[in-house]
Structure 1
Amino acid sequence: MGDIKRADFYDGPAHDYLGYWKGRDYEHAAERIAIDRLLTGRHFANAVDVGGGYGRITALLPRYADHVTLAEPSSRQLDIAARFLDKGIERVQAQAARLPFATGSIELVTMIRVMHHLPDPAAELAEIARILTPKGTAVIEVANLGHARNRLRRLGRGIPTEPVDIRSPENRHDDEIPFVNHNLDTVTRQLSEAGLRVERSLSVSNLRSGALKRVVPHRVLLGIEKAAQPALARMRFGPSIFLLVTH
């Protein structure tokens, strides 16, 4: 992530990111479905999970890469990762805008649930482009400002082109981490400016609803999710869009 304040947010004892994922089995499984759909049948020499916290997504990558590294700015999250991840996965403390990898050295980069902390992701996207090999691949998740429910709320007004901070006014303090949703057209342009192009997209966590999760069996939710991800991507339906990008 972009700076020390953002790392400090996840270092503090008040923020239990591992605990945050308890009760979010559907969201985790939906993201795993997306990762598998985008990467199945491909294999890489090395992969880096940028801003991966304690390694929730990093743990999925050894099936797709010979050598996997978690690059995370928070020392506390890295300490948790040391217990959560297999010993063969490397861990380095690093900001997403200053990654300690040689230019053109990484075949696969993932950056999941990081963009919503980046009101201006230009430096981070440029850094991903820098470290990727000429034919490298990245999977980047974007918190979608134009998801279906938001489009209904904003009917007749359109979707802002700039990121929108979704924190309540009382929680918007300069010393706290931003939480923004992005316009996908703007992100596509920013990726292009970094030298990256979108090859494929998936709409993810399409059934993210506490009410649905209480009444619909987990396996049924995931069956619908798996079937819907490609089709709903064309509508930019879901709150989370996974982008497969290349040079």
Structure 2
Amino acid sequence: MPERTNQYDENEHSYRTYWQDRSYEHDAEVAALRSLLHGRRFGHAADVGGGYGRLVPVLREFADHVTLVDSSKKQLSDAEEFLADQSNVAMRLMSAGRLDMDEASIDLVTMIRVMHHLPDPVPALSEIARLLRPGGIAVIESANLAHAANRVRYAARRQRIPTEPVDIRSAENRERDSIPFVNHHPRKVAEQLAAAGLTVERTLSVSNLRSGKLKKFVPHQALVRAEGALQSPLAKVSFGPSMFFLARKAG
């Protein structure tokens, strides 16, 4: 299925504004990246589908050079302003499924908050594997179909959680053919990574404490510290709404 990007090019849709009230979710993802990349150093990183560059400053902590890739012209235009004070950052207009970059040219590839727009992520994962040098690292985030609350819902209906992606758009959005929004089963994602030549070495469960009540009554920093402490142990049961996979290309 071709990638839909027009939603992110509409003038009324501001992804930067979307993140203004999501500091917990942002800091949870920053904690996950720092945990997975701790102690590593990369020459060249690529952030695929990185939008306006929200996570590029974090990647620059670990990489000498970062290429921000996105299929939305508006997102990259916003990135020019957002990343104005960042050195050694390049920007490329490309889709995740067709990355016009040299084979085996990248040491680290991240793809965060993109899989939920990809009912079929295989082309994107194959492209990521192609870009990576032997021994290179990929950090892939996926909206988790098998999170704890969903397991309860499916169990109440006496149904098994599907292994294929599930479209969670409203009927209205499906009717108007909005941009896809799917959840993936983490076991299936691991299989797809392996099929692309990427071996999963570590997983994290992320945004485990995503709750309006917790955000309201628990101080932000305390919530983020608890989140960081829970990401690794809760990965064993795929607890949270988001899963991070660290996978390595053989080499």
TM class, shorter-length: over 0.9
- Residue aligning to 1:132: 132
Distance 2:67 2:126 in 1: 19
- Residue aligning to 1:112: 112
- Partner SS, residue 230 of structure 1: helix
Q: Summarize the alignment of residues 32-43 of structure 1 with structure 2, pairs less than 5 Å apart.
A: 32-43=30-41
**In the alignment, is the contact (CA less than 8 A) between 1:2 and 1:95 conserved in 2?**
no
Distance 1:198 1:174 in 2: 37
Distance 2:210 2:57 in 1: 23
- Residue aligning to 2:44: 46
Q: Which residues of structure 2 form unaligned runs of 5+?
A: none
Q: Which residues of structure 1 form unaligned runs of 5+?
A: none
Q: Summarize the alignment of residues 47-126 of structure 1 with structure 2, pairs less than 5 Å apart.
A: 47-85=45-83, 86-126=86-126
1:146 maps to a residue whose letter is: A
TM-superposed deviation, 1:41: 0.5
Answer with 187-196 or 139-148: which moved more: 187-196
2:138 maps to a residue whose letter is: A
1:83 maps to a residue whose letter is: E
- Partner SS, residue 102 of structure 1: coil
Compute the TM-score of the two structures, normalised by the length of structure 2. Answer: 0.95
TM-superposed deviation, 1:137: 0.1
Distance 1:184 1:226 in 2: 20
TM-superposed deviation, 1:91: 0.5
- Residue aligning to 1:188: 190
**In the alignment, is the contact (CA less than 8 A) between 2:64 and 2:88 conserved in 1?**
no
Distance 1:139 1:185 in 2: 16
- Residue aligning to 1:19: 17
TM-superposed deviation, 1:88: 2.8
TM-superposed deviation, 1:174: 6.0
CA RMSD of aligned residues (A): 1.3
TM-superposed deviation, 1:87: 4.5
Count of residue pairs brought into register by the alignment: 245
Q: Summarize the alignment of residues 156-195 of structure 1 with structure 2, pairs less than 5 Å apart.
A: 156-173=158-175, 175-195=177-197
TM-superposed deviation, 1:142: 0.7
- Partner SS, residue 21 of structure 1: helix
TM-superposed deviation, 1:114: 0.1
- Partner SS, residue 96 of structure 1: coil
- Large movers: runs of 4+ above 6 Å: none
2:168 maps to a residue whose letter is: I
2:213 maps to a residue whose letter is: A
1:144 maps to a residue whose letter is: N
How big is each residue's C-alpha offset from its partner over 1:163-209, in whole Å with a ceiling of 9 and x where there is no partner?
A: 01111111114642100000111111111111111100000000011
Distance 2:208 2:160 in 1: 21
TM-superposed deviation, 1:214: 0.8
Q: Which residue of 223, 229, 232 corresponds with 1:230?
A: 232
Compute the TM-score of the two structures, normalised by the length of structure 1. Answer: 0.96
Distance 2:175 2:121 in 1: 20
